[in-house]
Amino acid sequence: MTGSRTEQDAALKLIDEQELVELAVAMGNIKAPSGYEQPMADFVLQWLKANGFENSYQQLVSEGRSNTIGILRGTGAGKSLIFNSHMDSEQGMPMRLDEEPPPGPTASVDQDKKRIFGLAVQNDRGPMAAFMIATKAIKNSGIRLAGDILMTMVVGEIGMAPVDEFRGARFIGKGYGSRHAVTHGINGDFALIAETTDFGVTWIEAGAAYFKVTVEGKSFYTPRIPERGELKDNPNALIKMIAIIEAIEKWAVEYEIKYTIEYPVGKMVPKVSIGAIRAGAPYKPSTTPKTCSIYVDVRVPPPLGFNQVERELRDIVRSVGLGGTVECFMARKGYEGNNVEPLVKAIRNANLLVRPAPPPPIISSAWQAPMCWTAARATTCPRAATAMMSSRARPATTRCAAARATIA
């Protein structure tokens, strides 16, 4: 926020730490996993309306899934700023095919330790609460900004990719809500993204490509399995896949070293992970699986093309000599923000007002919703609104600092 220090102080005094904590915990306890975000969208819209953001509204993205948009209008003489956070959470999502959806989120506060606990608070409703409280404080201070603030609370950032029998409206990949927003009227000069970077600042994000690698075998009843010889002659597709997995793991190390990028505020280290495997029937191990598939996540630095990554992976699978096919079933391009200097400077100055140390460097290969805003030509500077203190715990005071830094 630009303006005099007196104006900034007027807004900062309106930050109520207890209100911020209560809002973060309340939103953290709403069960709204990816694909089922509407209860969260309705809560946020109701809060915005109750706090004087009368021109707030929802964008229907698909059945049962709506973005919620809140706008604080300026005079029209300055640049606009997008606050972006996502409403979906891993909390409540089954992580395996055979798993029932877990119970809803449980966010709580430890008053003695000044910490908020809860996965949904960490990702991403604590940062969302910081944006909401900060924007409310600016509005209530009476300060008239030159540009607009657009709060975009979106669906489908976490997302589930379409593959095999998993298709349809709930399997549309990552960044779905943000892509919908930028193609349906939400545009800004800058975008500030709520993600966990331990208060670090970055404007470059990796892309992500998902691959399905499949190898064929033959179905045999255990007593009738032929005498074992060379691996290529083994009828068990799962056993063949072991060699392919080993080759991909070796390539992953080389890939990470080869494509690591150093940039002014940190390092991008593109990771490769095999996240799932499908073969055979758990209830019938007496039959060798005819096919085996693994599902691979490859993070892709912005200068690198998806075709190059796919060629390298195909070459690795081919080099094993056991056949095998490679299919890309999701690809999200990475970007580097342009003309970010004004926002980066403002963030760094604000950071020093609430934290004694400068923002730490970032080492990451994350793909996040900022890519949608960069692709839409909004200058972006993704940055966490909260610090990751542990895997599930956050200081309540950090939320207040984040809101204050947002204002400053």
CATH number, domain at 172? Answer: 3.40.630.10
Phi/psi for 305 (5° steps) reads: -90, 155
Of the two residues 204 and 4, the one the predictor is more confident about is 204
What's 239's domain CATH number?
Answer: 3.30.70.360
Q: What is the mean pLDDT of the chain?
A: 84
Residue linked to tokens 């715990």:
393
Check whether residue 326 and residue 339 sit in a common domain.
no
For 210-246, write each residue's pLDDT tens digit. 999 999 999 999 999 888 778 888 899 999 999 999 9
pLDDT band, residue 379 (cuts 50/70/90): low
Based on the structure, what is the number of domains in the chain?
A: 2
Of 332, 353, 381, the last residue of a domain is 332
Of the candidates 196, 144, 153, 211, the residue with the CA atom closest to the CA atom of residue 178: 153
Tell me the mean pLDDT in the region 324-332. Answer: 94
User: How many Å apart are CA 382 and CA 193, to the nearest integer?
Assistant: 4
Residues 303 and 359 in one domain: no
Q: Is 157 a catalytic residue?
A: yes
Q: Which among 278, 303, 332 is the end of a domain?
A: 332
Same domain, 342 and 397: yes
Residues 224 and 199 in one domain: no
Contact 20, 403 (CB under 8 A): yes
For residue 4, give both structure tokens: 């005099």
Is it the case that residue 197 has pLDDT exceeding 60? yes
Look at 2 and 133; give whichever has higher pLDDT. 133
* pLDDT exceeds 90 at position 357: no
Domain assignment of residue 230, given as a range: 207-332
Helix, strand, or coil here: 148? Answer: coil
> Which of 95-99, 290-294, 314-318 is least confident?
95-99
Residues 84, 152, single domain; the answer is yes
Residue bearing tokens 């706008």: 71
Rounded Cα distance between 190 and 170, Å, is 29
DSSP state string for 110-123: ETTTTEEE-HHIII
The HSE-up count of residue 122 (CA atoms within 13 Å, CB side) is 20
Q: Looking at 297, 315, 332, which one is the last position of a domain?
A: 332
For residue 53, what are its two tokens?
């953001």
What is the per-residue pLDDT for 93? 66
Active-site residue (options: 37, 124, 157, 205): 157
pLDDT of residue 264: 78
Instruction: Write down the H helix ranges in 112-205.
Output: 119-120, 126-141, 176-182
Same domain, 33 and 54: yes
Instruction: Indicate whether 278 and 365 sit together in one domain.
Output: no
Q: Which of 285-299, 344-358, 387-401 is predicted most confidently? A: 285-299
Q: Give pLDDT tens digits for 65-88.
A: 999 999 999 999 999 999 999 999
What is the spatial distance between Cα 241 and Cα 323, in angstroms, rounded to a whole number? 10
From the list 7, 88, 195, 205, the catalytic residue is 88
For this structure, is 124 an active site residue? Answer: no
The CA-atom distances, in angstroms, between 317 and each of 132, 208, 212, 354 are 48, 19, 12, 51
DSSP 57: E
pLDDT for 204 equals 83
- As a whole number, mean pLDDT of residues 246-274 equals 92
**What's the average model confidence in pLDDT over 365-392?**
46
Average the pLDDT over each of 40-54, 185-199, 234-248, 302-316 and give the range with the smallest value: 185-199
